[in-house]
Structure 1
Amino acid sequence: MGVLSLPVVSAAVRIQVGQVMLTQAHGELPQGVRDALGDGPEVGTMHVTGKARAGMAEPPQHHVMPKEFREWFEKRGFTGEMDIDEFCVKLEQAHHEAVHGGGDWKLGRSWPGEWNRMIMEALYEAETEAGRMLTRNEILKNVAKRMRDYQIPMSFTRWRGR
């Protein structure tokens, strides 16, 4: 019988958590893992972690057309196969936070360059200049320009929700 090291067991626990929903108290190790590891200060500091903290989660998705303005976009043709949920991108957590907080997560949506705020101001301004509602293609061109400015990849994915 081989010896299990603490890092190996810890990695196995993280992988198991990514695959199976555990029913014990928040952060508590499964009974079988505690039995295998025994008691000790190292075991007492171990805890169950989620996919994100274990480094296993996919990068978060970001709606390039803010979902809180879904109705505004729907009025301009973003319905059915062209719904705003079709225009999401995967961004690494740091990049996602940067587009919403300018690199300072404490600023959140108050930063003038925050993505949702900036994109809607740009679209409102474009509509004011046009003197009419923008077409779907005009909106897409405007959004694409801002995506280039913010170095957001043009690799759209469908919103998978959470």
Structure 2
Amino acid sequence: SQAALVELLEVPQLMDSCVRNGVYDEALDLQAFVSAVGHTMLQQLLARLRSSIQLPECLRVMGYLRRIAVFTEAELRLHFLQCRDEWLSSLVAELDESDSYELVKHLTDIHRLHLFDAVMQYRAIFFDTTAAACTAAAGPGLANTSLPAATAPGL
């Protein structure tokens, strides 16, 4: 385990050395290795979003996904919502459908607790970009205007 970690930490220096010395086959092999590890990491991070996850860890995972820079901000939003939907769907799929009362009760609990959590996570993760998008969509003339005070008719 420690030997594998040391090997991973040496990859950047080894790649730099290969490129400087014109050993491109080995440099490309290293690039393929790093790419494969990166793909595995991406899949693990997305899988984490498909499970029970609290807000602090969710923020960390989304921070990692942003640092990887594989997705645009819109794609990140979409992947987040898809992953959380898959998790909620898995909770619903596990319910026992034999007792209608219990089924409805558990469905209500899932939606009340977990759907609310997913919405709060989304708002916490994408708050800044949501506010910026709304301001940009409003346009420069609408963002800085205020509505006139309402007056009663005939006054």
| Pair in the same fold by TM > 0.5 | no
- Higher RCO (CA 8 Å, separation ≥ 6 residues): 1
